[in-house]
Amino acid sequence: MLSSGQIRAARALLRWTADDLAKESVIGVATIRRLELQDGVPKTNTNTLVLIKKTLERVGIEFIGDPDNSPGVRLIIK
């Protein structure tokens, strides 16, 4: 899984807005914003988090650490 902080950090590395992530992942922008406001692993449908994670990984984000212990992200330039 991934944490709300990882989602925000990934967007920052990509210089994406919540709208950008919503368009790329085909998830509503209101959902993205709601998930980012929560602490830790957001409470939502698991498929939603998987879709967000796959979208971000597709464009070069690598999720490191554990969402509950030292969560992080890094940008892999291809």
By CB atoms closer than 10 A (0-12, 13-18, 19+), residue 14 is middle
CA 65 to CA 73: how far, in whole Å?
8
Of the chain, the end-to-end C-alpha distance in Å amounts to: 23
Point out which residues pair with 73 in neighbouring strands.
63
User: Which domains can be identified in the chain, with CATH numbers?
Assistant: 4-75 (1.10.260.40)
**pLDDT tens, residue by residue, 59-78:** 999 999 988 889 999 999 87
Distances (CA, A) of 48 to 2, 7, 22, 44: 11, 12, 11, 7
pLDDT by position in tens, the chain (length 78): 899 999 999 999 999 999 999 999 999 999 999 999 999 999 999 999 999 999 999 999 999 998 888 999 999 987
